[in-house]
Chain A
Amino acid sequence: MTMTTYRSEAPPARDGFGQLLRAEWTKFRTVRGWVIGLVAAALVIVLIGLFGAAASNFSCAGPEGRSCAASTPPVGPDGEPVNDRFYLAHQSLSGDGSITARLTSLTTVSSSDNQKTEPEPWTKAGIIIKESTTPGSAYAALAVTGGHGVRMQHNYTGDIAGTVSTKPSWLRLTRSGDTITGHESTDGTDWHLVGTVSLPGLPSTVRAGLFAASPHHEVITESFVSTSATSYPTLATAEFDRIDLQGTWPDTGWTGDSIGDRAGGGPGGGAEPPVGFDETGDGVTVSGAGNIAPIVAGRGGLGKTIESSLVGAFAGLIAVIVVAATFMTSEYRRGLIRTSLAASPRRGRVLAAKAVVIGAVTFVTGLAAAVIAVPLVGAVERDKGHFMFPVPTATEVRVVVGTAALLAVAAVFSLAVGTVLRRSAGAVTVVIVAIVLPYILAIASVLPSGPSDWLLRVTPAAAFAVQQSVPEYAQVTASYAPADGYFPLTPLAGFAVLCGYTALALGVATFVLRRRDA
């Protein structure tokens, strides 16, 4: 008997990666636990953000029991919250002109004991051209600093280094339309250009004069699990002479103003340093406290960054890690991997399809959570009286999309580890220890900033840098620690660290999946 071989009537189909993706997507969506797990991840991100905002409370007592809550700081020309508190001896300048002065000495006393102290690195005194005496108004200043030589600064964030660091220092600011040019000199004859800045929309009549400011002295003591800070005001006194005013200066003499001082003295109460100015012969002495600089986000501040709406990301991440690991380990649990690999014997492609599916669904979940959390939590925080650090739209998009991408890549990492270990408990533990634990240790002030920085460089948790929305300012002394929201790596570099770990894990997973008996 001859037997005819069986021929299937099914139409031939193309063999494509798309079919594999579709199969893995069908696998994912047909296990309710996984879908619920991802929805829970999104919910937990939004809810922790909301809870954090709702529970946050600050109380701040001003002098004579006045509350300083709901006091929003002045805002600079670019919309950022700024410190603008200093002492100014000023005259009005109409149209173009220049001011030249020689700074002969800069000294500082501490308000705690009225003893002379080393100037703060960013104690500064010099000459300034400012739109008005209103805090937050546009300005350009040329100053001698306590520790950084001559600097030309403008509009709070601009900072250009000069070359002179000896005293006496000659300083000159020249206005021409919207452009201010700064020159420095050691002898008054040989002038050197420091910088040229533009103050768009500067009115024709401005205030110009001599100023002094000195920030609080802050000592931050860090130890395991605790951080303590002590802080006291300092007062800078600067002596100027050889003052030369060119152009139209209609006033007959100097007017002194403590810029940015709330009536009755600033916050902190008690012993505010005696600010003011004095005319002596051809010289002027100015004493001032405070700072002209952007406000820096941090632990103690009243300002909120947009990433503070996404503090729940780590909790959502835990749910994502569990779902992604189980997406793979469940195949091993009951031998389903054999069915999968019999259906598609090219094993690398099976892993790739799984990675694409878990990455994509996690990305969409994370994006939805972030897009909801940022405006919602922000609204609650504003309602509570916090002010928000404004960020450019591009930065906001980077924080939101970056958080979703962080979750997605971490899911792929978890999937790869699950492939290697084949047990969900082991895989989940490894990935949480690799990503979530370092992040919590660094962010929750458990570790001092040194080890925290190190953790956020070498572990996959470095990727949380994608959430940092505010820049570090070289001209502001502050604790730029992870606990304050500052990461040691740039967003891109931090994200690349996670991607590197994930690529490595995927490589090992592909290797073992190909080599092992299923």
Chain B
Amino acid sequence: MEATIEVTGLRKRFGPTVALDGMTFTVTPGKVTGFVGPNGAGKSTTMRAILGLDSVDAGHALVGGRPYRTLRHPLRQVGSLLDAGALQPARTGRNHLLWLAHSQGLGARRVDEVVGQVGLASAIRRRAGSYSLGMRQRLGIAAALLGDPPVLVLDEPVNGMDPEGIRWMRGFLRSLAAEGRAVLVSSHLMSELQDTADHVVIVGRGKVIADVSVADLIESASGDRITLLTTARTQAMTVLAHAGATVAVTGADTLTVSGLSGERVVAVLGENAVPFSEVSAHRASLEEAYMELTRDAVEFHAAVAEEAAR
């Protein structure tokens, strides 16, 4: 099976709410693809549509070129974690994995393997009702891995995890992708995906706003801006503005300069004998890039809504 997810033109309404509005993107193997958007953007709905759980009004979602509902042993092709709390509290974690394994023709040995992989061996024979949120997330990851699938669909897997757990999850997801799997991970916080995602699909109001590699995204958000470290802040601002640059204060000793190249900045400062300690190309954080993009999206939507109201 081709380890891809193709989502094409998904539309879905819940009564008056438009949850999906032409959602289209592709998840390719060997990468962690972040699926990011604010609350209510339609991430979970898209994932349920991919897994054949929710029907859609239009469009289709294919896994390895086939609709999920036609897969014979789906967990051997797609591992998923939608809601870590979806457990029968009276059943032990191990028995939860056991019935799932049985449904795919797998045995108890495979259960013990995935339990080891997620580091839950010590708690696995306890009632799932007694698990902490982080333990439930690990159990959910174990369930997703049961069938050793080439595709993984995970809805906010680090939600509720402590920093140590988040670090573990990042490394784990990266190693899964490094094995050649396609990994789709949703989050409503871009920062959660920093150092994890290779690619991001940014969504808002049921459609894709940006579908870019993380490297490209950061580069475009950084623009041609320059970060300047100087103790003579006021003096620097004056001379740079005279030279035609736009200058913003971003810290006590930090200025962000745009409209001038690095060489011109150094030259202008030298000509006017303004002291500075560092001139460097500005590098945006993923969060910054994301904020910039979603701000545009919100404005765009506001304009559309105004038009529609007329």
- Which A residues have a C-beta under 8 Å from some C-beta of B? 3-10, 13-16, 19-20, 22-24, 26-27, 30-33, 330, 334-336, 338-346, 517-518
Contact = CB atoms under 8 A, between A and B. Distances in A.
The winner among A23, A338, A339 for most chain B CB atoms within 10 A is: A339
B74 interface: yes
Nearest to A347: B69
Given A20-B103, A335-B86, A342-B74, A4 B150 contact: no
Contact of B29 (A5, A9, A15, A339): A5
Nearest to B151: A6
B180 A31 contact: no
B53 A338 contact: yes
B260 to A, nearest CB: 36
B118 interface: no
B104 A330 contact: no
B262 interface: no
B68 A345 contact: yes
A5 B52 contact: no
Given A23-B100, A33-B90, A517 B48 contact: yes
Given A3-B180, A330-B88, A517-B53, A27 B99 contact: yes
* A interface majority secondary structure: loop
B143 interface: yes
B105 A14 contact: yes
Contacts of B74: 342-345
Contacts of B69: 345-346
Contacts of A330: 88
Closest 3 CB pairs of A and B: A3-B30, A13-B105, A23-B103
B306 to A, nearest CB: 32
Given A23-B99, A23-B100, A339-B86, A8 B149 contact: yes
A6 B82 contact: no
Given A10-B106, A26-B95, A26-B98, A15 B88 contact: no
A15 B86 CA distance: 25
B303 interface: no
B98 A30 contact: yes
B150 A30 contact: no
A3 B85 CA distance: 34
Given A4-B180, A8-B149, A338-B83, A22 B102 contact: yes
B80 to A, nearest CB: 6
Contacts of A8: 76, 147-150
B11 interface: no
A334 B85 contact: yes
Given A6-B29, A23-B100, A31-B91, 6 more contacts: A10-B76, A330-B88, A335-B85, A336-B86, A336-B87, A345-B69
Contacts of B91: 27, 30-31
Interface of B: 1-3, 28-31, 48, 51-55, 68-76, 80, 82-83, 85-92, 95, 98-100, 102-106, 110, 143, 147-150, 179-182
Contact of B102 (A23, A334, A340, A517): A23
Contacts of A518: 48, 53-54
Q: At the interface, is chain B mostly helix, strand, loop or mixed?
A: loop
B53 A10 contact: no
18 contacts: A4-B30, A5-B30, A6-B180, A6-B181, A8-B149, A10-B148, A15-B72, A23-B99, A24-B99, A26-B99, A27-B99, A33-B90, A336-B88, A342-B53, A342-B80, A343-B74, A345-B71, A517-B55
Nearest to A30: B95
Contacts of A3: 28-31, 180
A341 B91 CA distance: 18
A135 B305 CA distance: 99
A7 B55 CA distance: 29
Nearest to A337: B86
Nearest to A22: B102
B86 A10 contact: no
Nearest to A2: B30
A342 B151 CA distance: 14
Contact of B105 (A19, A27, A339): A19
Contacts of B98: 26, 30
B152 to A, nearest CB: 10
Nearest to A350: B103
Given A15-B105, A518-B54, A6 B150 contact: yes
B10 to A, nearest CB: 13
B114 to A, nearest CB: 12
B100 A31 contact: no
B143 A338 contact: no
Contacts of A23: 99-100, 102-103
Contacts of A343: 74-75, 100, 103-104
Given A13-B106, A342-B51, A345-B71, A6 B85 contact: no
A24 B74 CA distance: 17
Given A5-B2, A517-B53, A32 B95 contact: no
Nearest to B176: A6
